[in-house]
């Protein structure tokens, strides 16, 4: 399997995070990439550095205002009196009556949905290169590879067309799916991160050519809180092409795997030419975010099931946080996927 990773992404090293009223160290740390790279090494997989993808690949998913904000925000923030080291919003708009602001403080609130995706000096370059990994993996599959893996960080599936949130800046999965769409009439995304892929859902919600399916912890008691319910099924041409399968935080392997089987049945009915898998590993029982109770064997079996579906598949890394188990979680999933794909 071809794999892609850009070392520049390690320069994104966010500090700020607000949890239950406490300022804490951000969970999206460079060490995540090193743990995942160790997993690739154990599997004998050597990642390639991706080419720099054209701007059009980002513009297919994100608005010009958002892309401009991500690129320029840190420099503008540093010009503020007594500025902190990262862009962190302190005010958010009521969009029903809002006008797009010109000041950086207002733009931060407009383009950032929460305080968990701070922008530092190197965040734009890192997120840009993470997106390059997703595009390179999509191009590998479009050129005939049965599957490719993109080790992207920061993650992306919580970012919508113009709002970053949940440790995410550019939506790598949506960018990869849009790239796959250039070679296929229909594409499907399957998100197995423990958090709902709300940004990906938002981007494709009114489209019938990209089906979005997400299996995640029930948002009534878990991030992203406001979306991810089973009754969200799409709008307009997208009606019926968004499927959410929320599960209790107590979910263990068998129920999770049965839900993946249900998701794959729904995807089969869509008849996509390719699949974009948003691979979160944070459903593991020992992940520090404690969202579900999936074991390494569960990840292995999930990999087997998804590979057996037989789609040309782009795997984009989403969550999975600092734990000595993260390396083995990736090894378990990819071992199952590659074993079944052989």
Positions marked active-site:
158
Query: Residue 246: beta bridge partners?
Result: 216
Find where tokens 């160790």 sit.
38
Lay out the sheet containing 242-247: strands in order across.
2-4, 147-150, 313-317, 274-279, 187-191, 210-217, 242-247
Compute the distance between CA of residue 210 and CA of residue 235 in angstroms, rounded to an integer.
Answer: 13
Contact 29, 13 (CB under 8 A): yes
**269: burial class by Cβ within 10 Å (0-12, 13-18, 19+)?**
exposed
Beta strand extents in the chain (DSSP E only): 2-4, 16-19, 22-25, 147-150, 187-191, 210-217, 242-247, 274-279, 313-317
């Amino acid at each position: 399997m071809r794999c892609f990773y850009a070392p520049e992404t390690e320069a994104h090293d966010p500090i700020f995070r607000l949890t239950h009223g406490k300022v804490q160290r951000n969970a999206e740390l460079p060490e995540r990439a090193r743990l995942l790279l160790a997993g690739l090494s154990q599997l004998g997989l050597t990642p390639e550095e991706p080419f720099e993808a054209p701007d059009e690949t980002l513009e297919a998913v994100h608005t010009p205002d958002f892309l401009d904000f991500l690129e320029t925000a840190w420099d503008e923030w540093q010009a503020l009196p007594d500025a902190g080291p990262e862009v962190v919003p302190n005010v958010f708009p009521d969009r029903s009556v809002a006008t797009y602001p010109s000041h950086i403080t207002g733009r931060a609130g407009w383009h950032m949905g929460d305080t968990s995706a701070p922008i530092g000096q190197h965040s734009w370059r890192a997120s840009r290169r993470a997106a390059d990994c997703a595009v390179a993996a999509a191009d590998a599959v479009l050129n005939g590879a049965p599957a490719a893996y993109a080790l992207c960080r920061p993650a992306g599936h919580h970012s919508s067309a113009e709002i970053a949130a949940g440790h995410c800046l550019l939506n790598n999965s949506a960018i990869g799916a849009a790239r796959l769409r250039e070679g296929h009439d229909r594409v499907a995304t399957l998100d197995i991160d423990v958090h709902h892929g709300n940004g990906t859902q938002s981007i494709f919600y009114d489209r019938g050519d990209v089906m979005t399916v997400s299996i995640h912890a029930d948002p009534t008691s878990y991030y992203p809180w406001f979306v991810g319910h089973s009754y969200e099924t799409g709008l307009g041409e997208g009606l019926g092409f968004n499927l959410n399968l929320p599960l209790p935080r107590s979910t263990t392997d068998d129920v999770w795997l049965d839900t993946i089987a249900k998701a794959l049945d729904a995807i089969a009915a869509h008849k996509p030419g390719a699949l974009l898998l948003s691979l979160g590993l944070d459903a593991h029982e020992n992940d520090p975010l404690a969202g579900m109770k999936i074991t390494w064997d569960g990840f292995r079996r999930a990999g087997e099931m998804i590979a057996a579906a037989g789609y040309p598949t782009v795997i984009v890394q989403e969550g999975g946080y600092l734990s000595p188990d993260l390396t083995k979680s990736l090894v378990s999933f990819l071992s199952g996927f590659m074993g079944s794909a052989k």
